[in-house]
Chains A and B, each alone.
Chain A
């Protein structure tokens, strides 16, 4: 028996978190804040996975959430490596100005 709010409330919070993260990715120009907003999007997805795992009484959702956590840690590792490399080359930390690879 799930006490308190039903699964739909958790899914609403998850969708709002995903929308907030998407907004941050779209409008912020600092790559560090873009990475932080990506974390919010991943956590929104994780909350939905865990809510559905509890709803179905099945462990696969929790396993997938733990896998997503490991992927997020890898993404932060590579992303922060890129930020440090950009900083060492004395380039501006601005995703609009880092457009050398644009065709």
Chain B
């Protein structure tokens, strides 16, 4: 039994290291590619490896929604728009030597990272060791649906309004541009 449990643990660690490394590497790739098309493809890899991490955290429905909504719908829209505006190479700031803006931006991003780590470890350092036990229904679609329609009904309704407003906004932006160019 103990041997079985430790073999499972090693397997989870291996999957975690693979997915976590892919996640970090593709995140850096999105920021550093000069062609936006390659950046978008790297972001699809980032979203896929994040879905694997969600599965390890027993959030099955969120992982499925991540792949369907993000890697499916959102990224297809992104690739379509990138193909529409045409490939526009931009020389990344670090190709032409470090300017003061890129140095300052790197320092700011690094300080955000360190600040988050320090804040979390100061606030919750000791309490992060032991996670709660969860039942087998944790993260399943039925459980999420029940939560959405009972405890979090307001969030569900507001989400639908936000999506409607965004769709109307997208249509208005598109039609105004057509009138201006005609």
What is A's interface to B at a CB cutoff of 8 Å?
1-13, 15-24, 26-30, 32-33, 35-37, 39-40, 43, 46-47, 50-51, 53-57, 59-60, 62-67, 69-78, 80-85, 87-89, 93-94
Contact = CB atoms under 8 A, between A and B. Distances in A.
Given A9-B20, A29-B90, A55-B128, 13 more contacts: A4-B12, A4-B16, A19-B113, A33-B90, A51-B57, A53-B59, A59-B143, A65-B59, A67-B159, A69-B66, A73-B73, A77-B77, A93-B88
Contacts of B58: 54
Given A9-B20, A76-B74, A67 B102 contact: no
B176 A23 contact: no
B78 A80 contact: yes
Given A18-B116, A19-B109, A69 B65 contact: yes
Nearest to B17: A5
Interface centre among A12, A19, A64, A87 (most CB of B within 10 A): A19
Interface of B: 5, 8-9, 12-13, 15-16, 20, 23-24, 27-28, 30-31, 36, 39-40, 43, 46-47, 50, 53-54, 56-59, 61-62, 65-66, 69-70, 73-74, 77-78, 81-82, 84-85, 88, 90, 92-93, 101-102, 105-106, 108-110, 112-113, 116-117, 120-121, 128-129, 131-134, 138-139, 143-144, 147-148, 151-152, 155, 158-159, 162-163, 165-167, 169-170, 173-174, 176-178, 180-181
A53 B147 CA distance: 13
Contacts, number: 249
B90 to A, nearest CB: 5
Contacts of B20: 9, 13
A63 B12 contact: no
Contact of A85 (B16, B116, B133, B177): B177
A34 to B, nearest CB: 10
B163 A27 contact: no
Label chain B's interface by main secondary structure: helix
Contacts of B159: 66-67, 70-71
A26 B109 contact: yes
A78 B166 contact: yes
A85 B174 contact: yes
B74 to A, nearest CB: 5
A16 to B, nearest CB: 6
B173 A22 contact: no
Contact of B112 (A4, A19, A29, A82): A19
A82 B172 CA distance: 10
